[in-house]
Structure 1
Amino acid sequence: MIDLNHLEQYRENNRIEAKRALGGLPHSIWETYSSFANTFGGIILLGVVEHKDKTLHSVNLPDPEELVSEFWEIVRNPKLTSVNILSANDVRIEEVNGDRIIVITVPRAERFYKPVYVDGNPVNTYRRSGEGDYRCTQEEYQAMLRDAAYATQDMQKLEQYDVSILDFESVHKYRERVHESHPNHVWETLDDEEFLFKIGAVNIGEQGIRHPTAAGLLMFGTSEIIRQNYPNYSLDYREADYQLVSDSGDWSGNVFDFYEAVYGRLKLILPDNSVRMAAREALANCLVNADYYGEGGVVIIRREDRIVLSNPGDFRIEVAAAKSGGFSDPRNGLLMKMFNLIDIGDSAGSGIPNIFYTWKQHGWSEPTIKQTVHPNRIEFLLPLMKRGDKVTRIKQEGKNAEMKSALKRAMIIDYLTDHAEGSFEELTKLLGVKPSNTKKLLDDLIEEGIVALTENGMYLLKA
């Protein structure tokens, strides 16, 4: 809630839209209603103007009651707005500095109401970005439709395939993990196809033929076949001297084998079991909630001081609700079920709160969750340093930079000692740096009187 008594402190942004509205209810209000509902929610202020310095100021609406009545008439008309997600308390008249204005609080729509569109046409579906309201692309519209369904994305039965397209080496590794987690499980004696049916990886089609589900394909398929169904499918893990990508052709490229490989590398650098378990939850959460139709694929980056997990799609619940726990709404419910069976992931909504708790217990900087739109992506950053370590790391990086600079200077001097002169191009190639870095090093050496530049553009050591 904004402080209306200090309106000048606010600016229009992803969550605040100001409209003068002195000439009546502006039509653009409906684009903003749609965009707020389909993105993060927000506040529409009628009777508020933006000055040249971007500050907000009230103007007196002559008849706000009439505008409110007109607003309710339109928002409740299914031919003009696809759904009314507002309650009576969300639209109110307020007095600010003697001016009467209207405050409309638009919540983020629940996924089963999306996409929220206006003017009776799904083409008029909007979202909000840093640049304001924009009309959704067909891909964004379809993504909201997929998420609106009661059944999760991965429940789809893929009748164009049979179970032979699955990688049964991956299936057998998964079954070994089930045995480790649940010895003598009731499904342990089942044959592979019956086991896959029980966990939702296959389903029965016409004439009793078994077909993989989308979850089964993602979890146990091969990258080549997965991409036939998910053209944007990509899994990418990166660290300093190692990279694992799903389309390399030398491994299955499926979600289960990716999880196994990535967690195997992450746990080697994590200090204790509680942190490993928390990182495991973060990795599973990333894979379970990815929109595999979306752009950019799943990207996991491990650095000395952080782990960054990024996936296509947006949160299906509010970020604040995800951090507080108690409710779970996975994009891929069958994938979650499969991970749960090997004691990975949490279906009760406590996974993300446990990650934040574990990081706090270790005195590390708090994890951050960032959502972006156009394209939709979620980034979960896990710092691997204490709150005060950042300053130390920056100082160390400064020392490392000084050492590298000293080494490059010595290389230039050594080269010009062994050669009568050297060109700029030769020295840049020798150093293996950008031309701008070579120029700075040479300029410093010239200023210090160590190197001279000849009339024909060659460098040499001064006598």
Structure 2
Amino acid sequence: MKLTTLEAIISLKESSQVEYKKAKNDFPKDAWKSYSAFANTTGGYLILGISEDECKKPVLTGVKDAEKIISDFCSTLGDRSKVSLNIIENEDIRTAIIEDKTIVIIHIKEAAITDKPVYLNNNLAHTYIRLHSQDHLVDTQQLSTILRNQSDQLDYELLHNYDISDLDLDSINSYKSILSKRYPSLNYSEMDNQSFLENIGVFRKNRNTNKIHLTVAGLLFFGKYNSIIDRFPHYHVDFFDKRGNSQRWSFRIESGNLDFPDLNLFNYYRLVSEKLLLSVNRNFELDEYTIRKNPTDLTIALREAFVNMIIHADYFLNTTALIAEIHEPFYIFINPGIMKIPVKEFFTGGARSLVRNPLLVSLFTRMGASEHAGSGSQKIIDVVVKNRFKVPELKSDLERTYLKLWIAEPLVDVSNLKEDEKKVYTFICNPPTSNKSSIKFTKKEIANAHPDITSARLTRILNKLSEQNLIVKMGAYKNRTYVKAVSSVEVIHHWGETYDIIKHLFYKDKSDS
């Protein structure tokens, strides 16, 4: 965050990631709520030495003794009776002088999901989260959700008073048939159903009692509908095909509907997967987009997005259902629960394998529906890059995760460009065959392709294209390259550019610039 002028402060309002505090002489006690809230949500900046007037506009007041305030802050961070976790490093604290007044800027990173909640006063009830520009105490369900997110084996829970009669026989036989074909040497077809289910981990032994019990994953994956809702009363899975002129939908698959009895996760996956795959080769026209009628590997992206939605859901939540939707230019996938990795890791392909339901992952992997946990996001981004689709929209909070997967490329308006500007833009977007392997170009490479354009004129053209967000400048001046803006996800994905560029592309939030 760069705050070097009064104008920069005035333009920066409090938000989900910015909090002002007056803090004249001491570190303000109520600022610890913001520390907890930022750490438990998506991180943010605590700025000391700025207050607000009656119109909620920031006013530069400054701090008198920055070193004392920072020292007090760091001292309290080390007191576990005051703060449960210290996530601050030296580089997260800095000062700035604006119009002879000093402010203190503290960057509070989001805590790892296994370290949440970050709470105050040695009391879990003093856990805060950030909602818009306010710090809020968590309620009982939110706290339970945060604590539950620490676990990496939720679906291993053993269920008492459940047995094989609570499972759908057709689902078991169909799944066994799939595995028998994939792994003929394991002789699954010769096993009785109870032995088969124990073999694949659906039934597991309680080591304290030596008794065999059904697991949560087994109930969700193979269960009869009534048996599932006995344990998960808010369980609901849904699918909508919202293409066409219907005001609601043209086709729907939902649990609880007598047309789809015993819609466990296995049956839900089979039914909806078929609909998703059938939707791939379709033609449609919209004014706003240039549509790719035969996208490459779209079935891979749809499979990964759909399976990820199922295996990463928090089935203990009552906030939303599993929902998959087909729209004209995009697909939507919604599941209850927050992602266990930061959103930025989804886009960079560096997602660590943090599993919420490892047994469900195993069941889907065995049948060939997913390769392994953690690879899905990279496969999705690979398909987006290859087809130059519009960047996916991804939102995730304690209640739900929402993914919109576009299958269209934004239509760029270049009607206001002059002929030489169009030539440069066309080269960057669609270089000659000899340069097809490259998607980023130096000024020298562009100049060599257009020797009729002077160096000074080319500089002005590149600046104009950048200002209009048609291209993106990458790197420092001497090493600067230029890429087409709508495909810059490819640069980030394959070359690992900085998080600042990611924010520029995905978050469109200029408050940090």
Identify whether the pair has TM-score above 0.5, normalized to the shorter chain. Answer: yes
> What are the within-5 Å matches in structure 2 for residues 316-395 of structure 1?
316-326=340-350, 327-347=352-372, 349-372=374-397, 376-388=399-411
Question: Is 2:14–2:133's contact at 8 Å kept on the other side of the alignment?
Answer: no
Structure-2-length-normalised TM-score: 0.71
> What are the within-5 Å matches in structure 2 for residues 260-275 of structure 1?
260-271=270-281, 274-275=297-298
Separation in structure 1 between the aligned mates of residue 158 and residue 138 of structure 2, nearest angstrom: 28
Separation in structure 1 between the aligned mates of residue 162 and residue 349 of structure 2, nearest angstrom: 38
**Judging changes above 3 Å, is the alpha-carbon distance between structure 1 residues 320 and 185 closer, same or farther for their aligned structure 2 residues?**
farther
Instruction: Name the counterpart of 1:204.
Output: 205
**Judging changes above 3 Å, is the alpha-carbon distance between structure 1 residues 96 and 345 closer, same or farther for their aligned structure 2 residues?**
farther
Separation in structure 2 between the aligned mates of residue 105 and residue 194 of structure 1, nearest angstrom: 54
User: Per-residue deviation at 1:121?
Assistant: 1.6
Question: Is 1:163–1:202's contact at 8 Å kept on the other side of the alignment?
Answer: no
Instruction: Name the counterpart of 1:287.
Output: 310
User: Per-residue deviation at 1:187?
Assistant: 5.0
Q: Which amino acid aligns with 1:10?
A: L
User: Per-residue deviation at 1:95?
Assistant: 2.8
Among 137, 140, 156, the residue aligned to 1:138: 140
Matched, 1:311 2:310: no
Separation in structure 2 between the aligned mates of residue 389 and residue 67 of structure 1, nearest angstrom: 50
**Judging changes above 3 Å, is the alpha-carbon distance between structure 1 residues 219 and 307 closer, same or farther for their aligned structure 2 residues?**
same
Matched, 1:101 2:100: no
Question: Is 1:218–1:226's contact at 8 Å kept on the other side of the alignment?
Answer: yes
Instruction: Name the counterpart of 1:165.
Output: 166
Question: Is 1:200–1:215's contact at 8 Å kept on the other side of the alignment?
Answer: no
Structure-1-length-normalised TM-score: 0.78
| Residue aligned with 2:213, SS | strand
Q: CA RMSD in A?
A: 2.3
Range with greater deviation from structure 2 (173-182 or 14-23): 173-182
Deviations 1:303-336 (A, max 9, x none): 2222111111111111111222242212211111
Among 110, 113, 122, the residue aligned to 1:111: 113
| Residue aligned with 2:107, SS | strand
> What are the within-5 Å matches in structure 2 for residues 180-199 of structure 1?
180-185=181-186, 189-199=190-200
Among 125, 128, 131, the residue aligned to 2:127: 125
Instruction: Name the counterpart of 2:257.
Output: 248
Question: Is 2:180–2:189's contact at 8 Å kept on the other side of the alignment?
Answer: yes
User: Per-residue deviation at 1:49?
Assistant: 2.6
Question: Is 1:325–1:349's contact at 8 Å kept on the other side of the alignment?
Answer: no
Separation in structure 1 between the aligned mates of residue 340 and residue 100 of structure 2, nearest angstrom: 41
Who wins on radius of gyration, i.e. which is larger?
1
**Judging changes above 3 Å, is the alpha-carbon distance between structure 1 residues 241 and 89 closer, same or farther for their aligned structure 2 residues?**
same
Q: Which amino acid aligns with 2:135?
A: D
Question: Is 1:281–1:346's contact at 8 Å kept on the other side of the alignment?
Answer: no
Range with greater deviation from structure 2 (339-348 or 76-85): 339-348
| Residue aligned with 2:19, SS | strand
* Identity in percent: 28
Deviations 1:331-350 (A, max 9, x none): 21111111111222243523
User: Per-residue deviation at 1:221?
Assistant: 0.9
User: Per-residue deviation at 1:364?
Assistant: 2.7
**Judging changes above 3 Å, is the alpha-carbon distance between structure 1 residues 200 and 323 closer, same or farther for their aligned structure 2 residues?**
farther
| Residue aligned with 2:273, SS | helix
> What are the within-5 Å matches in structure 2 for residues 405-416 of structure 1?
none
Instruction: Name the counterpart of 1:403.
Output: none
Q: Which amino acid aligns with 1:289?
A: H
Matched, 1:179 2:161: no
Structure 1: which 5+ residue stretches go unaligned?
A: 391-463
Deviations 1:249-301 (A, max 9, x none): 44212111101111111111103671112101000000111111221111112
**Judging changes above 3 Å, is the alpha-carbon distance between structure 1 residues 180 and 322 closer, same or farther for their aligned structure 2 residues?**
farther
Separation in structure 2 between the aligned mates of residue 93 and residue 364 of structure 1, nearest angstrom: 41
Structure 2: which 5+ residue stretches go unaligned?
A: 242-248, 282-294, 414-513
Question: Is 1:231–1:293's contact at 8 Å kept on the other side of the alignment?
Answer: no
Separation in structure 1 between the aligned mates of residue 385 and residue 22 of structure 2, nearest angstrom: 45
**Judging changes above 3 Å, is the alpha-carbon distance between structure 1 residues 54 and 179 closer, same or farther for their aligned structure 2 residues?**
farther
Matched, 1:278 2:280: no
Separation in structure 2 between the aligned mates of residue 126 and residue 53 of structure 1, nearest angstrom: 26
| Residue aligned with 2:104, SS | strand
Q: Which amino acid aligns with 1:338?
A: L
Separation in structure 1 between the aligned mates of residue 184 and residue 133 of structure 2, nearest angstrom: 55
User: Per-residue deviation at 1:4?
Assistant: 4.3
Q: Which amino acid aligns with 1:354?
A: K
